[in-house]
Amino acid sequence: MRIKSVLSAAALVAGLSIAGTSVANAPPYGTEQFEEWFDAGGNLVGYVHWTCDGRRETWGSRSGRLEVTRRACPQP
């Protein structure tokens, strides 16, 4: 029984780490990305903005419903 518990915990941690990193990847070159988190009432509670020059700006909590938006950067 103990081995099953350890394996279950390891699988859970691995799954959570994969899910957490999938959202945190920078967008492709030439795009900017907005990751916005909303609570149950639809209020914005946090965001991550990947800018066109590669900077990452964050604010608030990253929990709740996630919406990801990408758009092309303006041409120089």
Q: Which residues contact 20 (CB under 8 A, 6 or more apart)?
A: none
pLDDT band at 23 (very low <50, low <70, confident <90, very high): low
Using a CB cutoff of 8 Å and minimum separation of 24, what contacts does 52-61 make?
Answer: 54/26, 56/26, 61/37
Q: What is the mean pLDDT of the chain?
A: 80
CA angle 11, 17, 20 (to 5 degrees): 140
Percent over 90 (pLDDT), the chain: 51
- Whether pLDDT at 44 is above 50: yes
- Whether pLDDT at 59 is above 50: yes
Q: Work out the average pLDDT over 9-28.
A: 57
